[in-house]
Amino acid sequence: MKIVKSVAELRALPESRSVGFVPTMGALHDGHLSLVRKARAENERVVVSIFVNPAQFNDPEDLRRYPRPIEKDLAMLARENTDVAFLPIHDEIYGDRFRFEVREKEFTKMLCGATRPGHFEGVLTVVMKLFCLVRPTRAYFGEKDFQQLSLIRDMAKSFFLGVDVIGVPTVREADGLAMSSRNLLLKSEEREIAPRLYQIIKTAADAGVARRELSTLGFRVDYVEDVAGRRFAAAFLGSVRLIDNVEL
Ligand code: AMP
């Protein structure tokens, strides 16, 4: 596995027939690896980026404490036969000092976008930059972040990027909790009730019932909403924000 940091090194890679790209923020788990495995099965070259993108954090404390176990991540990627681990340099990615950004005016205002101002602009902008650098044939995103997947798919279409955006089902712990790098930050008593988020949004008669059940259990509910045949939810346990979604 080649570890690439600079844009110059990335550009110097030989051409490949097909490039499968998996953008991540690291602290990798089996959810990320299911994307890497699908990319591995479908492409000649697999590129995985690890970049904790400051532009998508609306809370500085969330950015500060985001886990960064880089050596462990690299070992996991090597085991999956990743060809290139791309660890971009902040000042190269944001050489424009955030002057330019990608904006979307409808879906980014809903769900996670309603309470995390600037979050999706940060996501769309960094993904656009990474697509321009990596020039993937296919890019893989998890359904765990379904709103993100949908926005990136629409962005690729709207700007004729020629990238096939592929969604991958959510990978869960045995108790149903969606795997997430932020799960590492849950206290043990929070970790015990965390799986209820999935169970409740899956079984509640409507979004209002789900909100009430979650609040009763001690979740601080950000939202539970049914949109276009899916139920989306975000809720805090202590200071950790969990998200999930299910098909209705
Ligand atoms: P992140 O590192 O959190 O930015 O996630 C990188 C990619 O992995 C995104 O496309 C996520 O949707 C995806 N991902 C994260 N957790 C999971 C999961 N539990 N199952 C499937 N995909 C996931």
* 94-128 residue pLDDT tens: 999 999 999 999 999 999 999 999 999 999 999 99
Using CA atoms, how far residue 30 sits from 7, 46, 131, in Å, is 28, 17, 23
Residue 145's nearest CA partner among 96, 118, 178 is 178
Percent above pLDDT 70 for the chain: 100
- How would residue 202 be classed by pLDDT, with cut points 50, 70 and 90? very high
Query: For residue 176, what are its two tokens?
Result: 């149903």
**How far is the centre of ligand 1, averaged over its atoms, from the C-alpha of 146 (Å)?**
10
- How would residue 147 be classed by pLDDT, with cut points 50, 70 and 90? very high
Percent above pLDDT 90 for the chain: 96
CB of 171 sitting under 6 A from ligand 1: yes
- How would residue 201 be classed by pLDDT, with cut points 50, 70 and 90? very high
**Atom number, ligand 1, closest to the C-alpha of residue 169:** 21
Residue 246's nearest CA partner among 188, 192, 203 is 203
* DSSP tag of 14: P
90 counts as catalytic? no
* 7-50 residue pLDDT tens: 999 999 999 999 999 999 999 999 999 999 999 999 999 999 99
- How would residue 223 be classed by pLDDT, with cut points 50, 70 and 90? very high
- Predicted local confidence at residue 123, as pLDDT: 98
Average pLDDT score, the chain:
97
Using CA atoms, how far residue 200 sits from 130, 149, 185, in Å, is 36, 23, 22
- Average pLDDT for 70-82: 98
CB of 36 sitting under 6 A from ligand 1: no
- Predicted local confidence at residue 27, as pLDDT: 95
CB of 179 sitting under 6 A from ligand 1: yes
**How far is the centre of ligand 1, averaged over its atoms, from the C-alpha of 142 (Å)?**
5
- Predicted local confidence at residue 169, as pLDDT: 98
- Predicted local confidence at residue 203, as pLDDT: 98
* 208-219 residue pLDDT tens: 999 999 999 999
CB of 31 sitting under 6 A from ligand 1: yes
**How far is the centre of ligand 1, averaged over its atoms, from the C-alpha of 243 (Å)?**
11
Residue of minimum CA distance from atom 8 in ligand 1: 32
Q: Best substitution site from 22, 25, 32, 34 to test ligand 1's pocket, by max atoms within 8 Å of Cβ?
A: 32
Contacts of residue 72, Cβ cutoff 8 Å, sequence gap at least 6 = 28
8 Å CB contact between 19 and 136: yes
**Atom number, ligand 1, closest to the C-alpha of residue 148:** 12
Residue among 29, 32, 90, 119 flagged as catalytic: 32
